[in-house]
Each structure stands twice: as C-alpha cells, then as structure tokens.
Amino acid sequence: MLALGPMTAYAGFPVASVEFLSWETCDAGAPAKGEAKFKADVTATPVTCDKTTVNRDWSINNYSFRAHLDTKDTAWCHGVTIWNNDGCSGKPVHFLPFEHGPFAEGRCLPDILEPGYVSFKLDCFGFPGGA
C-alpha cells in the first residue's frame, strides 16, 4: 500500500501509464510510426520511481515514449520526467510533456540511452519534485 502522508489532502492521486518503445529505425525528431520492436509498460506517479530495463538488442537504433494520464486528478500534471538510471536521480535524459490533453506522444530519439535502466516520475505541481 502506498503511504501518502501529508499529501492525503488531495482529492485524488495522479497516475499515468507510460510506454517505453524501442525501434529498429525511426527518424530522430519525427513522430514514431508503425510497430515498435520492443515495448515496456510502466506506471508513473509524482511520488514513486518506476523503472524498466533498456533493451540492448543490436538492432535497436531509436527510442520513444508515450504516456496517458489514467486518473481524473491529474489537472496539475504537466509531463513525465525520464532518467537513464534506476532511481530517478541526477540529470534527466528526457521530458515528455502533456501539451494537449491526457495523451503525450513522444518523438523518436536517437540511441542516447546507456545500458541499464530508464526510470519515470510524473511531474505535477504541488508534489515533491514537481514545479
């Protein structure tokens, strides 16, 4: 069970579903199209750090991210911060913004991720680590 402590004053708790996609080929900066070679699903909240492994298959040349706000209590959330480690620490490698509604469709990124993990945190105003 997730202990919320002083944050229980909020009407609800924001949660987002995030997809980490690995592509054989995808034009960097362009929208990701077609079927990804690998996909990992994680959950992001403003107080937890969820992670998945970076697929190091030799055929992977690009990555992208997608996110969807799952709960109604996400009006103050503006994106997902992404790190290339397992602890949501240090300098993030990417930020996936929610620009127009509850969906965020990331663009293709070059193979910038180091072996290991990517970790995710929902960035929301009023929560620790949020703006």
pLDDT of residue 5: 38
2 has a pLDDT exceeding 50: no
Which stretches within 13-92 are classed as H helix?
Answer: none
Read off the DSSP letter of residue 75.
Answer: T
pLDDT of residue 48: 93
> In whole angstroms, what is the distance from residue 29 CA to residue 26 CA?
9
> In whole angstroms, what is the distance from residue 22 CA to residue 67 CA?
15
pLDDT, tens digit (0-9, with 9 covering 90-100), for 40-94? 999 999 999 999 999 878 889 999 999 999 987 777 899 999 999 999 999 999 9
Dihedral of the alpha carbons of 111, 113, 117, 122, in degrees to the nearest 10: -100
7 has a pLDDT exceeding 60: no
pLDDT, tens digit (0-9, with 9 covering 90-100), for 17-38? 999 999 999 999 999 888 999 9
User: Where are the domains positioned within the chain?
Assistant: 14-124
